[in-house]
Amino acid sequence: MLPPVPSPAAYGISPDQGFLPPEPPLETLPDLFYAKWEEIAANLQPLLLSRRIRAVVDRMPLLSTVHLHTDAEWRRAYVVLVFILHGYVWGGDRPAERIPPQLTVPLFEVCERLEVPPVATYAGVCLWNYKPIFPDEPADDLNNLACLQTFTGSLDEQWFYLVSVAIEARGGPSIPLMLEAIAAARVGKTRVVTECLQQLAEILDEITALLQRMYDNCDPYVFYNRIRPYLAGSKNMADAGLPMGLLYDDGRNPPEYRQYGGGSNAQSSLIQFFDIVLGVEHRPTGVTRKDQKTAAASREDGPKSRHGFIHEMRGYMPGPHRRFLEDVDSIANIRPFVDAHRTDPALKLAYDACLSMLRTMRDKHIQIVSRYIIVQSRVARRASQSAGSDQQPPTVNLATAVPADSKKLRGTGGTALIPFLKQARDETGEPAIDAWAKRLLSNGPARVGFASLSKVGEQPDGHLEVVGLCGTWTADDSEGGICHW
């Protein structure tokens, strides 16, 4: 007997808002018992500016969580505490390694209740951290959204979070839509599945348009140097000053080092939902389909294969959302249904169109990452080289930790950025049904067989190799070339 199709309501998921809360998040905790938390959160920007955040938190009383009652209150407490946490860690010239009990103890209790790790996650900075300006207007309208909490108080930081909020709101209706498609596929309703896929393709197209609005009000320099450092976790952050991670001191037991990834869009349950219902499978970064098949054939009853970064990020989602994805994963049937009905041109086209839209969205995301992180890291590297290798940066964080190789750049979640993003994009096209669509989505259009030359020609030691008209030139701290962006 097939397992039932999950009901979103059983996981706290709204048919309209999706993974956003059914009601707008609380702007403050109602019980005055938590006034000190709210006071610090409200003054986070001046406390960070004056470098006084750590002294204030060290004097903060250790408050019990017994006065938190509703889910909305627990979520608000989490938002407040993780913003204070990251301000405490990254709000000085060097990151703070030890977290005091007055922050550790309530944070652990809140995180246990919400089933999230003690670090700023996508849920904390996006899903539970917004308010509609006009409650009667939709949350997928960026002109109707504001942030509850930021580190910098800047429009850029608010916009960075709110673009994701709008995407979540716009994608929310796709959840019941695709559950309907799964149920229809079980009973062979080809027309219903086709119509659902057509609607999903349109939603994905609209989500991509929202993603591209990031450029409207979020400046790349401000993001890289002012916002991104506060979002960093403690995993793979040796270059940023946390070689061992963080010591969460509960005042009772000797603290041990813990490492967590920071907030990442890979923690969006919505994006992973799209992958699951469309049958997109992601492998560990650097592992090809051939590698995976070879390993599976040789492993047989041996140890299970390791999961990739995307699957690992489910551990950073709220518990109910994580379980929802697991349950949907166990019943997903759209890809095999379309494959079994590949003679239906409308169905096949609708499915491949969804993959195309999802791949395009990932393409646009890579472009954003390139502009906001890769290019900015090169600017920072040139600035550090101009200042001299013997001079230490005044502040150590994710913005000043600049590796020589852009392939080694880490996201706030701790993963190698570009290899991960490009592989995730390429994997999106692999399930395509039509042979031409599969080739186009998996590998791109056929290329003329000329030898390829690097556009940038950048070497691991930072110097630039001239490779003809498609190469680069340097002048002082600038670089460019006829074919070089």
Indicate whether 457 and 386 sit together in one domain. no
297 found inside a domain: yes
Domain that holds residue 459: 450-485
Shared domain check, 57 and 24: yes
- Ligand-binding annotation for 365, yes or no, is yes
> Within a domain: residue 407?
yes
Q: Does one domain contain both 58 and 121?
A: yes
pLDDT given for residue 417 in this prediction: 74
- In a domain, residue 3? The reply is no
**Same domain (yes/no): 460, 412:** no
| pLDDT for residue 370 | 93
CA 85, CA 99: separation in Å to the nearest integer? 8
Q: Are residues 19 and 105 in the same domain?
A: yes
Contact 148, 25 (CB under 8 A): yes
Is 13 among the domain residues? yes
Q: Which residues of 59-92 are buried (b: 16+ CB within 10 A; e: fewer)?
A: ebeebebeebeebbbbbbbbbbbbbbbbbbbbbb
C-alpha–C-alpha distance, residues 220 and 385, integer Å: 21
Q: Map tokens 């239906």 to a residue.
A: 344
DSSP string, 20-48: S-SSPPPSS-SSGGGHHHHHHHHTHHHHH
Does 438 lie in the same domain as 462?
no
Kindly state whether residues 383 and 479 are assigned to the same domain: no
CB atoms within 10 A of CB 196: 26
Could you tell me if residue 1 is inside a domain? no
What span, in angstroms and rounded, lies between the C-alpha atoms of 124 and 78?
Answer: 7
Do residues 461 and 434 both lie within one domain?
Answer: no
Within this chain, do residues 459 and 313 fall inside the same structural domain, yes or no? no
Residue after which a domain boundary falls, among 443, 459, 475: 443
Q: For every one of its 485 residues, what pLDDT tens digit does the chain have, with 9 covering 90 and above?
A: 889 999 999 999 999 999 999 999 999 999 999 999 999 999 999 999 999 999 999 999 999 999 999 999 999 999 999 999 999 999 999 999 999 999 999 999 999 999 999 999 999 999 999 999 999 999 999 999 999 999 999 999 999 999 999 999 999 999 999 999 999 999 999 999 999 999 999 999 999 999 999 999 999 999 999 999 999 999 989 989 999 999 999 999 999 999 999 999 999 999 999 999 999 999 888 888 777 666 655 555 544 445 688 999 999 999 999 999 999 999 999 999 999 999 999 999 999 999 999 999 999 999 999 999 999 998 988 887 776 655 566 788 877 775 545 455 555 544 567 888 899 999 999 998 888 888 888 765 444 333 333 344 444 334 444 434 444 433 333 444 333 33
Same domain, residue pair 457 and 365: no
Length of the chain equals 485
Q: Please name which of 304, 292, 230, 289 lies closest in space to residue 262, comparing C-alpha atoms.
A: 230
Here the CATH number for the domain that contains residue 423 is 1.20.58.480
pLDDT score at 330: 97
Q: How many helices (H) does the chain have, and how many strands (E)? A: 21, 7
Q: Is residue 480 part of a domain?
A: yes
Query: Could you tell me if residue 92 is inside a domain?
Result: yes
Total number of domains constituting the chain? 2
Say whether both 475 and 359 belong to one domain.
Answer: no
Is residue 2, in this structure, part of any structural domain at all? no
**252 is written with which tokens?**
């009772």
pTM of this prediction? 0.87
Give yes or no: residues 426 and 459 share one domain: no
